[in-house]
């Protein structure tokens, strides 16, 4: 079962002055964090093409590879990635799935839905915290962002990170570890699934679809990432 908890997003208007102050503070924090991330940027790399081993069939979902624009790949700057459309056999529901490995530690800050999507013209309406219950029986955290844009409808984006084998709904773990001066992050992967919906479509059912896919795919993705990391470590030893 999945549980969701909406998180309200501050409105514009009287909060402009406060927002400006927060932006200044966030900019300082990001620059300071970037210095720490540069000092600890010793992440594990994977050879391109290894993530293609992710099964095209995951439970009731059937996938097909979709090419990504070269400009998007250059901006992402990852070691390896998979981008696919998966369709559920039972009802025809389709999602877009993106898995990336090898993001540099400092790149986790700017390459997030709440940053990238508004930069592409989408307005964030609100966010939901979601608990996934994959086949392993683990209750894992994720975050679903709801965006809208004129003429493009709305989209639900579920996003989480795998940081040294741990599923994290945001970059808080990375920040906390580096601020405390602990050892560098060994590896990172980004899991993202999205689905568009129109003004007349039900947001709740759309969130359910992306959450269903994430719950079905998480165990398979984590197992693949762990296997590839083990193989990379073995080749380095």
Backbone angles phi, psi at 25, to 5 degrees: -65, -40
- For 126, the domain range is 3-236
**How do the pLDDT tens digits run along the chain, 237 residues long?**
454 444 333 333 333 333 333 223 333 333 444 444 444 445 677 778 899 999 999 999 999 999 888 777 777 777 889 999 999 999 999 999 999 887 555 555 556 787 778 878 888 889 988 888 876 667 888 889 999 998 889 999 999 988 888 888 776 666 665 554 445 677 888 899 999 998 767 899 999 999 999 999 999 999 999 999 888 888 876
Angstrom CA distances, 161 to 12, 13, 35, 105, 169, stand at 29, 33, 21, 12, 6
Partner residues linked to 162 by β-bridges: 167, 189
Q: pLDDT per residue over 131-190, tens digit each? A: 888 766 678 888 899 999 988 899 999 999 888 888 887 766 666 655 544 456 778 888
8 Å CB contact between 41 and 106 = yes
80 Ramachandran zone, left/alpha/beta (phi>0; psi -120 to 50): beta
37: helix, strand or coil:
helix
Q: What pTM was estimated for this model as a whole?
A: 0.76
Helix (H) or strand (E) holding 122: none
Report the C-alpha gap between 57 and 40 in whole angstroms. 37
> What are the contacts of 9-16 at 24+ separation with CB within 8 A?
9/124, 9/125, 9/126, 9/127
Domain count, the chain: 1
């Amino acid at each position: 079962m999945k549980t969701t908890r909406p998180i309200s997003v501050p409105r514009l208007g009287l909060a402009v002055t406060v927002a400006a102050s927060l932006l200044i503070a966030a900019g300082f924090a990001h620059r300071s964090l970037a210095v720490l991330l540069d000092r600890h940027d010793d992440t594990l790399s994977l050879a391109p093409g290894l993530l293609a081993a992710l099964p095209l069939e995951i439970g009731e979902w059937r996938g097909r590879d979709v090419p990504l624009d070269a400009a998007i790949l250059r901006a992402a700057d990852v070691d390896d990635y998979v981008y696919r459309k998966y369709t559920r056999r039972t009802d025809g529901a389709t999602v877009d799935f993106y898995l990336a490995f090898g993001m540099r530690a400092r790149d986790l800050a700017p390459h997030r839905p709440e940053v990238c999507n508004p930069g592409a013209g989408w307005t964030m309406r609100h966010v939901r915290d979601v608990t996934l219950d994959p086949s392993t029986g683990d209750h894992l955290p994720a975050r679903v962002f709801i965006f809208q844009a004129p003429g493009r409808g709305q989209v639900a984006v579920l996003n989480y990170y795998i940081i040294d084998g741990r599923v994290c709904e945001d970059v808080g773990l990375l920040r906390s570890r580096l601020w405390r001066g602990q050892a560098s992050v060994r590896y990172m992967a980004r899991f993202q699934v999205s689905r568009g919906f129109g003004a007349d479509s039900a947001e709740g059912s759309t969130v359910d679809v992306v959450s269903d896919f994430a719950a079905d795919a998480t165990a398979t993705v984590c197992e693949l990432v762990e296997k590839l990391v083990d193989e990379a470590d073995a080749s380095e030893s």
